[in-house]
Chains A and B, each alone.
Chain A
Amino acid sequence: MVVAVAEESRGADHARPWIEQAKSDYWQLIDTEHRLEDLYNLVNVPQAIWIDEQGKIVRPPETAGSTDHFRGMDLKTRTMSPKAQEERLAARQAYMDAVRAWVTTGKHALPEDEARANLPKVTPEIAAAHAHFRLGLWLRANGRAAEGDLQMAEASRLHPDSWSLWRQAADLDEVGKASGPAFWKRVQDLGERPYYPPPKL
């Protein structure tokens, strides 16, 4: 069973066009408060967690099929080279194949100690960042956008590795801003570090 969760503070109607286009028969949930990211210590989309029949995590949060090829994009034409596109699609296919193999044969599920070792640790700063973000959302939703933005900026300061908190705040400020010049500057500042760490399959 697929459970797809939209980390979407603008709400269901904002996510609806994508969901309708997907024509899915699985759950399509709306997480306006980014609650799942708080519970599972997520930092970006798409991320996935694999959960077995007993409700146990068998693969902790990992990048779900996306790659860093977009970083080599020509920003004027917004296109990638054919080679980059090919590699990107191949990586996505490999991840989808891994998910299917797990469903049918159990392959790729990690032993407990390995699953545990691969969990990203929640720090007090990360916990505080989620509290600031939630407060920021409430303030924004109640006509106090400037105050809300301060809380969200504090959330990103405390948890700079979370692209979700930063990009959602940018999107709430203005649709499109989450992939605007400030986003690209932030991506460039990663240097050698990945935006989408590849899953270890």
Chain B
Amino acid sequence: MTKILAPLAEFDVPVRDGLWMSPVDAEKVTGWTLKPEGMCRDYLCVPLPEQALGTNEVDVAAFWKKLGGPVVSSERRDVWALGAPAQDRNAALEGLDAPDFTLPDVDGTPRTLSQLKGKKVFLATWASW
């Protein structure tokens, strides 16, 4: 099993030669579904390069790079991180809708920014270091 840190969750999936995996696992990890047109999500399909498609398997690293997202791995290539594409982050921010997130409070209770709609929010960071 290979550990994949995807934008919204972590997954353990069987892979070979990098991030070749079954279409089912590819969908689980990326949220995109393999269809004849390519990898699809909602009404959008991204054609896959021919070399990123095998018999019942998909090269998720190639697909993710095609989306413009960073793909990085540990030296042993047993842990990978798929980052959000820069253009997605910019588009989200330029829309000026505050990107939503859920983080635990100090006692572990999950809190979601969008629960505060209707109130002004002063969102501020700090650190002990």
Q: Which A residues form the contact surface with B (CB < 8 A)?
A: 1-8, 10, 12, 14-16, 18-19, 27-31, 35-42, 45-57, 60, 64, 99, 102-103, 112, 115-116, 119, 121-124, 126-128, 130-132, 134-135, 138-139, 144, 147, 150-151, 164, 167-168, 170-171, 175, 178-179
Q: A127-B83, A138-B79, A167-B127 are in contact. List 5 more A-B contacts (CB 8 A).
A: A47-B124, A51-B122, A55-B114, A124-B70, A178-B129
* CB-CB under 8 A for A51 and B128, given A28-B105, A135-B80: no
Q: Once bound together, how far apart are the Cα atoms of A4 and B106, in whole Å?
A: 11
Q: Once bound together, how far apart are the Cα atoms of A37 and B36, in whole Å?
A: 37
Residues of chain B within 8 A (CB-CB) of A54 are 117
Residues of chain A within 8 A (CB-CB) of B68 are 124
**B85 near A127: Cβ-Cβ < 8 Å:** yes
Q: Let me know if B44 is at the binding interface, CB within 8 A.
A: no
Q: Which residue of A lies closest to B122 (CB)?
A: A2
**B126 near A45: Cβ-Cβ < 8 Å:** yes
Most buried by A among B69, B75, B105, B123: B123
Q: Once bound together, how far apart are the Cα atoms of A102 and B121, in whole Å?
A: 11
Residues of chain B within 8 A (CB-CB) of A138 are 3, 5, 10, 79, 81
Residues of chain A within 8 A (CB-CB) of B103 are 5, 29-31, 35-36
Q: Which residue of B lies closest to A175 (CB)?
A: B129
**Can you list 10 pairs linking A and B with CB atoms under 8 Å apart?**
A1-B121, A1-B122, A3-B122, A8-B129, A14-B128, A46-B125, A56-B98, A57-B93, A127-B83, A171-B128
| List of 9 A-B pairs having minimum Cβ-Cβ separation, nearest first | A131-B83, A171-B129, A178-B129, A128-B70, A135-B81, A127-B86, A51-B121, A29-B103, A122-B89
**B122 near A27: Cβ-Cβ < 8 Å:** no
Residues of chain B within 8 A (CB-CB) of A36 are 101, 103, 123, 125
Q: Let me know if B120 is at the binding interface, CB within 8 A.
A: yes
Residues of chain A within 8 A (CB-CB) of B99 are 39-40
Q: Once bound together, how far apart are the Cα atoms of A128 and B70, in whole Å?
A: 5
Q: Which residue of B lies closest to A117 (CB)?
A: B94
**A29 near B104: Cβ-Cβ < 8 Å:** yes
* CB-CB under 8 A for A5 and B123, given A55-B98, A135-B79: yes
**B122 near A48: Cβ-Cβ < 8 Å:** yes
Q: Which residue of A lies closest to B113 (CB)?
A: A3
**A57 near B96: Cβ-Cβ < 8 Å:** yes
Residues of chain A within 8 A (CB-CB) of B86 are 122-124, 126-127
**A18 near B96: Cβ-Cβ < 8 Å:** no
**B126 near A4: Cβ-Cβ < 8 Å:** yes
**B96 near A5: Cβ-Cβ < 8 Å:** no
**A5 near B72: Cβ-Cβ < 8 Å:** no
**B120 near A102: Cβ-Cβ < 8 Å:** yes
**A29 near B111: Cβ-Cβ < 8 Å:** yes
| Chain B 45-78 interface mask (CB, 8 Å, partner A; 1/0) | 0000000000000000000000011111111000
**B89 near A56: Cβ-Cβ < 8 Å:** no
Q: Once bound together, how far apart are the Cα atoms of A122 and B69, in whole Å?
A: 12
Q: Once bound together, how far apart are the Cα atoms of A10 and B125, in whole Å?
A: 15
Residues of chain B within 8 A (CB-CB) of A150 are 75
